A and B are shown apart, each in its own frame.
Chain A
Amino acid sequence: MEGLAPDLWPPIRLTIELATTTTIVLLIVGTPIAWWLARSQAWWKEAVATVVAMPIVLPPTVLGFYLLVALGPEGLGGALSGLTGRRTLAFTFEGLVIGSVIYSMPFVVQPIRNAFEAMGSRPLEVAATLRASPLRAFWTVVVPLARPGFLTAAVLGFAHTVGEFGVVLMIGGSVPGQTKVLSIAIYDYVETMQWREASLLSGGMALFAFVVLLAMALIEKRVARVGV
């Protein structure tokens, strides 16, 4: 849009806000799911795990399409946003958070689940014999033991949300400060032949991706050396 070209910061700030919020929500929502997936004996748990993992395989357009309808006035999102006097969750930051949580869920749940499974039930049994309440055992035993898993989950969830494009393009509406995240800003710049802005942001993204992946590799290496 007009006048926005010189201002590269709002999309960067917005992207960081979105990725941070999404990561926090995912750690809160994803941990119980990962716990259940790691410990449950239910025969249908792999079906749930599959549903969680589906965004990896589905084109973002499928999610974007469903979300556009679901967030709209005829969907659940419209009903929810009606409470705050709005008619749709599309084009809003909250809408993007919902989309990102679904889209990045597998990248958070899987590492945490792996960490829980690797831990086994032994530490909890020991904690129980020491009369630790389940909640206390979780915070003092499980969380420290699964810390590398949580760290991987947080980094991946954050990075994957930063790298989101298709879903945001379809439900975002490119609203400055609300939904115009980095990937959308780059798309707009390329579409309108503003190569300089596009390459600045793209270069930054490439650097970011490199740093994240390198950090991941180093974390894993350290974990392998120290042991879980």
Chain B
Amino acid sequence: MIFRILAALAVVTFVAGPVDAAETKVAVAANFTEAAKEIGVAFKRKTGDDALFSFGATGQLYTQITQDAPFEILLSADDERPKKAVADGFGVPGSVFTYAIGKLVLWSKSPDVVKGEDTLKTAGFTKLSICNPVAAPYGAAAVETMKALKLYDTLQPKLVVGANITQAFQFVDSGNAELGFVALSQLKGNAGGSRWMVPQDLYKPIRQDAVLLKKGAGNTAATGFMDFLKGPEARAIIEKYGYVFGSET
């Protein structure tokens, strides 16, 4: 047994790659979780460098950044916090760019539950899951949508609020809420249930910006990751998850 562990350790040590492989710590908005993981793998394959991800609500990550979190890059779910990061002295000026534009979806695990905006109007459900509208841009977009349909006041008593979009998704996925506003990217590989792509005129486009933080300014792995995010490999992955590639617009 001990021998096996030692052997495994030896393998890990040898396979660990070039000695000069660097790493960068990236704070990622929860909606981008799966795409980021895949981009991280492609990034590693191309450069040998590691991207270490921390996932959370954009607001929560930003709070941590203001408190000296060790992040070198922020992949935000909005275009406000990256701007603010630069203005507040945490971000590198000129480094902000849009890496993806997200789509909001009303989703249920059961077929026939979600049938367009009428589903919200008739409100024949008990729990509608969203994420914290102050901390998470997808939550803000959900509230914006309900307000645009003039349904926010009637729907508010039915809202359950996840700390981030992953939790909002999980409330629906576990069956505890009948439906919820989630990110299109979260439904990848999930063809079942019923869904309504919320029309873009009901909410402000979710422009997801990236910003290089000052902690990462001198790290080639960090600047390398920022460049990689603009490249064709990253683009293919971003589009695969249902986002519009940022530089397009």
Contacts and interface: CB of A to CB of B under 8 A. Distances in A.
A90 B57 contact: no
B63 interface: yes
Contacts of B133: 1-2
| Chain A, interface SS category | loop
A74 B63 CA distance: 37
A187 B134 CA distance: 12
A50 B74 CA distance: 45
Contacts, number: 80
B174 interface: yes
Interface string A143-176: 0000000000000000000000000010101110
A71 B178 CA distance: 14
Contact of B176 (A1, A72, A169, A188): A72
Interface stretch (B27-35, B154-162, B183-191): B154-162
B220 interface: no
A91 B174 CA distance: 13
Contacts of A41: none
Interface stretch (B43-51, B124-132, B224-232, B238-246): B124-132
A173 B161 contact: yes
19 contacts: A1-B134, A1-B159, A1-B161, A2-B133, A72-B176, A73-B176, A87-B126, A87-B175, A90-B160, A90-B171, A173-B127, A173-B162, A174-B160, A187-B163, A188-B134, A191-B60, A191-B134, A191-B135, A192-B132
Interface of A: 1-2, 68-69, 71-74, 78, 86-88, 90-91, 169, 171, 173-175, 187-188, 190-193
